[in-house]
Structure 1
Amino acid sequence: MTAVPYSRITGTGGYLPPRRVSNDDFVQLLAARGLETSDAWIVERTGIRARHFVDDGVNSSDLALEASRRALEAAGRSAAEVDLIIVATSTPDMVFPSTATILQAKLGVHGCPAFDVQAVCSGFVYALSVADAMIRAGSARCALIVGAEVFSRILDFDDRTTCVLFGDGAGAVVLEASDEPGILATELHADGRHAGILCVPGTVSGGQVLGHPLLRMDGQAVFKLAVGVLENAARAVLAKAGRTEADIDWLIPHQANIRIMNGTARKLKLAPERLVVTVDEHGNTSAASVPLALDAAVRSGRVQRGETVLLEGVGGGFTWGAVLLDF
């Protein structure tokens, strides 16, 4: 394969497990554990009204498979035409092999490179950036990029400040070599000094879990960092592409907290109706949130071909990044 000038998204797909968990469901769940919360308390602080949880026996690769099938169908491609698979996840099916290789087998294909990217809630933006670089370098021509998570498995249901935030799901895109502009620029960053503000500080050793195997988060510290780095990443990626704020048709940020999302839109002087919001029904699905929101916007008819879209992610690590693209 030879190098090509651009990569372009040709299809999107998303999948949420059927079990919808409303805020009222959480009120009852936490009450049984002696904790108080309310729909109003959750909505006011996060914008979340519901999220979806997997049933027992359902893994990230299962969600990824459904999202991938829908993305491939939208792109008019078969799984056999895919020559690169990247899965962004913080909740893999197992320690190894990668969820990407498990997905590859479930798709019924073999031989192409397949690997996971672990950048937590920035994972899909990282994975899309890697796939773009590989396609431009001539290493692939038709890539499947997936964000898939089962965060319900790592939540501490005795911590009402975190367990109400997250949900399960998967989103996927097909990214293909193109002679027309698609992905215009990417921007990736990390600062490991802040690893402790959002983490699951446990590991497996000698057949036992060492440390704390459930999610921990310093919400105020995450909020403070997120707003600033998202604005900086947006301005950097616009500068790389030779574009301005006025060129953005749609902002699709990581769906973590409506206040962070609205704050980013205001800093970029974007009208509220140009912000794609799915956090109200999806919750925070980590690496799946950006591709799920993109797919929802495409399938609802909001995002149209030729429009300019800014994707942004921010998450544990601390990681953040942005992708500017012409859809």
Structure 2
Amino acid sequence: MNSDALREVFITGTGSVLPGARVGNDRMEDFIGRVGGRPSAVGRRALRWNGIEGRHYALTPDGAPLHSNASMCAGAVQAALDDAGLGVSDLQHLGAATTQGDYLVPGHAGAVQAELGAAALEAVSYQSVCASALMAAKGAWLSVRAGEADVAAACAGEFSSRWFRPAFYEGTALTDRRGRVRIEADFLRFTLSDGAGAVVMEPRPRPGGRSLKVRWIDMTSLAGRFDPCMWAGSTFADRADLKSAWSHGGPATAHAAGAMALLQDFDLLKIVIRAWIGVWLGKVDAGRIAPDQVDHLLCHYSARSLRAEIVGLLENTAAMIPEEKWFTTLPESGNVGSASIWVMLDAFLKSGRGKPGETVLCIVPESGRAMIGFMMLEIV
């Protein structure tokens, strides 16, 4: 299609779902469980590191699910449609993102569509880690921009807590003789939580209300430079060898090896952070981002300590955006993985902080295999 025919795109509705009551740090292990019946040896250290004060879980203390990932995403899409003054019947494109869906097969988008009760539409699944939210957003944005849809939704959801229950660790290579969980797995149990968020996009702003004009969305993957940094489906040692992935030995063998749990390489993460900053600096050098013209920054990060490291790397560069312009929901609702940026954006808009004409820069780094996404918005 000729670029002259491309349309402007606006986020006209946002929505989020944070399941259950807010859970404080003192009750976390009542929900995710105690491996071997003992409190975690690293839990308190992880909480000091991440700065999270509360979160939400889509299960009860005995592990019974209250929702599915897909139902939370459907709830977020419905909330975003309601916010835009639209109905499910108006939806023409659905992009659904997640780290780990309810099924291995088929894709997440079909499950969300079914939970939403939507009729025939274009549904696209995006599976990665945190940046998958912006993958879905870019698909929705381009669909509206090209004139293929007049109403598109991008959603992202996580049901991480079910992967953190004791059965994923007990009797596996991830626990030592005393039943303690390997730190690369245990830290994540105290970092990630559940929920979903969504945005609705249209080719015109919402009448009588504020909208967000989508100026651009950029995605950069550095997977060719790094081994997986956060993964599930392989052991720590063999994660870069796809021929050693869990499916080749079968689920029982993989579980015993500790290959079914979510893991992270914290030493590699420190290197990947610098690579993310390199991409950020490159966009500033190229004029894609002008820091002094950014009024609000919504940067996803998994922990308060990572924010401090990002600030430390940026503060002596021309790319630094003053911290008083940063907005986050991490202390209140935790790290909801791919859903975090939509939960954050929804809360930002409802806070009343933004004014027409101001810009909002969303940045979503992903440790999965070194990806980072950027989205520039303008309040109208």
Q: Decide which structure has greater strand share.
A: 1
Counterpart AA for 2:7: P
Matched, 1:182 2:213: yes
Are the counterparts in 2 of residues 125 and 311 from structure 1 also a CA contact under 8 Å?
no
Question: Cα distance, 1:210 vs. partner?
Answer: 5.5
CA distance in 2, matches of 1:290, 1:52: 16
Distance in 2, Cα, partners of 1:74 & 1:34: 42
CA distance in 2, matches of 1:223, 1:190: 17
1:188, 1:321 within 8 Å by CA — same for their partners in 2? yes
1:33 maps to which of 23, 31, 38? 38
Distance 1:183 1:129 in 2: 10
The partner residue of 1:224 within 271, 287, 308 is 271
Q: Confirm or deny: 8 A CA contact 1:255 1:277 kept in the other structure.
A: no
2:121 is equivalent to residue 112 of structure 1: yes
Residue 139 (1) aligns with residue 148 (2): yes
Greater gyration radius: 2
- Verify: 1:95 aligned to 2:121, yes or no: no
Partner of 1:288: 339
Amino acid aligned to 1:310: L
Contact 1:306–1:326 under 8 Å retained in 2: yes
Q: 2:291 — aligned with what?
A: 245
Measured after TM superposition, the shift of residue 237 of structure 1 is 7.3
Whether the 8 Å CA contact 2:43–2:190 is kept in 1: the answer is: no
Residue identity opposite 1:299 in structure 2: K
* SS of residue matched to 2:106: coil
Distance 2:320 2:99 in 1: 32
Contact 2:11/2:212 (<8 A) preserved: no
| Structure 1 segments unaligned to the other structure (5+ residues) | none
RMSD after superposition: 2.8
Give the one of 42, 64, 71 matched to 2:73.
Answer: 64
In the alignment, structure 1 residue 126 sits paired with structure 2 residue 178: no
Q: 2:57 aligns with which of 53, 58, 61?
A: 53
Q: Within 2, Cα distance between the matches of 1:13 and 1:151?
A: 20
Counterpart selection for 2:226 from 179, 183, 194: 194
Change in Cα spacing, 1:109 to 1:27, as seen in structure 2 (3 Å) is closer
Shift of 1:277: 1.4
Identity of aligned residues (%): 26
Q: What amino acid maps onto 1:160 in structure 2?
A: D
Mapped to 1, the partners of 2:252 and 2:355 lie a distance apart of: 47
Question: 1:15 — aligned with what?
Answer: 17
* TM-score w.r.t. length of structure 1: 0.88
Q: TM-score, normalised by structure 2?
A: 0.77
Q: Which ranges in structure 2 are unaligned for 5 or more consecutive residues?
A: 167-180, 206-210, 235-245
How far does the alpha carbon of each residue in 1:122-169 deviate from its partner, in whole angstroms, 9 at most, with x for none? 111121122222222222221110010111122376343221010011
What is the Cα deviation at residue 318 of structure 1? 2.5
Hey, what's the Cα distance between the residues in 2 that align with 1:30 and 1:296?
A: 32
Per the alignment, do residues 310 and 49 of structure 1 end up closer, same or farther by CA in structure 2, a change over 3 Å counting?
A: same
Q: Is the 8 A contact 2:144 2:202 kept in 1?
A: yes
Whole-angstrom CA distance in 2 between matches of 1:93 and 1:215:
15
